[in-house]
Amino acid sequence: MNKEKIWLSSPHIGTDEMSYIEDAFASNWISTLGSNVDGFEDDLENYLSESDASRSSVCVLNSGTSAIHLALILLGVNSEDEVICQSFTFAASANPILYLGAIPVFVDSEPITFGICPTQLEKAILDRIAKGKKPKAIIAVHTYGMLFEVEKIIEISKKYNIPLLEDAASALGSSFKGKKCGTFGDIGVVSFNGNKIITTSGGGALISKSAKIKKKAIFLASQARDKAPHYQHSNIGYNYRMSNISASIGRGQMKILESHIAKRRITNQFYKSIFKDIKGVAVFKEPNTNYYSNFWLTIICIDKSHKITKEQLRLNLLNENIESRSLWKPLHLQPIFSTYPYYGSTIAEDLFETGLCLPSGSNMTEAQKNKIKKTINKTFT
Ligand SMILES: *Cc1c(COP(=O)(O)O)cnc(C)c1O
């Protein structure tokens, strides 16, 4: 039987991307300089600043991971420094800490937004300070498009004067009290990887509060070339800048971002209606009306006592060629990170044990949704 694959989240191209790419080709601006790089940065700055008097400065890069790496450098992280990082996240949130030879200190999540737990965060900060080393930065992550408790985390970051790096890789378009994700941290990061809410085929952006930081980010991302007629370098440089072709795709994608979000939010409602009558399964939801999630992925948690496990549901879906994926395995349990300090209990661990991400792409058809619904209902009857 030939079953068409239903993806967790696949690229969804609009109508304008190609004309931006053609412009780039026509003008021969197909490398890391060009009007679409500047244009995409403008588009993002306008979008992020819509509801905010203070304008954000955006530097577009070749991935979200490189944006996190540069953000840590710009925040002054050096080798042997400690950096606090939410444990319940994708490895790319923490790998750049290791690139720098710095030390990750992992913190558990709270059970409402699944973002970094304020209580454990403060505990970790106090304990690290008592042990003689004040953490250099805090990496907090919006999980699957849902905001972490931004007000509490910003308050802690200010109280201890430790800068906040906001990993909004999957949260472009999400907001809290109308303020957009990516603008809460001292530096914010978004990703345009193929599976994210919009894509540039691969890419990311570093969001800061000043044109000066943006300029520094562009400098470091373009091999740190000093002003001279020859190649002259006084800093370690990186080749992290976004190409004008990727930025062309991004410009087209910005035009359909809001409609992509609307579709993912409808998909979230679709899953809520399926699980309304299934006992012991919770669909991840916004805690209150201050939170607006792009619902990049809809996730469910199945009670531990339930006779169906997340793995059984995953396999049943897979059998129909429907992709789903376990929630993140916490980083403090990953072999590469398991020797580093961890503050918390078992919230992140329980999420891993019970949670599944369901197909949420903005390009899913009604027929595909019906097939998903049938498979879920069959599993739970
Ligand atoms: C996707 C993602 C990243 C990495 O972004 P890339 O563009 O794939 O490098 C980092 N953190 C989180 C939470 C992500 O979901």
What number is the average pLDDT over the span 116-125?
A: 98
Cβ neighbours, 10 Å, residue 227 = 5
The pLDDT tens digits for 308-343 are: 999 999 999 999 999 999 999 999 999 999 999 999
The pLDDT tens digits for 207-255 are: 999 999 999 999 999 999 999 999 999 999 999 999 999 999 999 999 9
Nearest to 245 by CA among 60, 376, 54: 60
Which ligand 1 atom is the nearest neighbour of the CA of 192?
A: 7
The pLDDT tens digits for 63-72 are: 999 999 999 9
Expressed in angstroms and rounded, the spacing between residue 328 Cα and the centre of ligand 1 is 12
The pLDDT tens digits for 76-114 are: 999 999 999 999 999 999 999 999 999 999 999 999 999
Lowest mean pLDDT among 17-21, 29-33, 38-42: 29-33
Of 62, 63, 191, 242, best ligand 1 pocket probe by most atoms within 8 Å of the beta carbon: 191
pLDDT computed for residue 54 by the predictor = 83
pLDDT computed for residue 27 by the predictor = 84
Q: 21 — phi, psi (to 5°)?
A: -65, -40
Closest CA to ligand 1's atom 14: 169
Of 8, 65, 328, best ligand 1 pocket probe by most atoms within 8 Å of the beta carbon: 65
pLDDT computed for residue 2 by the predictor = 59
Percent above pLDDT 90 for the chain: 91
Q: Pick left, alpha or beta for residue 298 (phi over 0 → left; psi -120 to 50 → alpha; otherwise beta).
A: beta
Cα–Cα distance measured from residue 233 to residue 225, given in angstroms and rounded to the nearest whole number? 5
Expressed in angstroms and rounded, the spacing between residue 95 Cα and the centre of ligand 1 is 11
The pLDDT tens digits for 121-175 are: 999 999 999 999 999 999 999 999 999 999 999 999 999 999 999 999 999 999 9
pLDDT computed for residue 52 by the predictor = 67
Expressed in angstroms and rounded, the spacing between residue 228 Cα and the centre of ligand 1 is 35
Expressed in angstroms and rounded, the spacing between residue 204 Cα and the centre of ligand 1 is 8
Buried b / exposed e over 43-57, threshold 16 CB at 10 Å, is: bbbebbbeeeeeebb
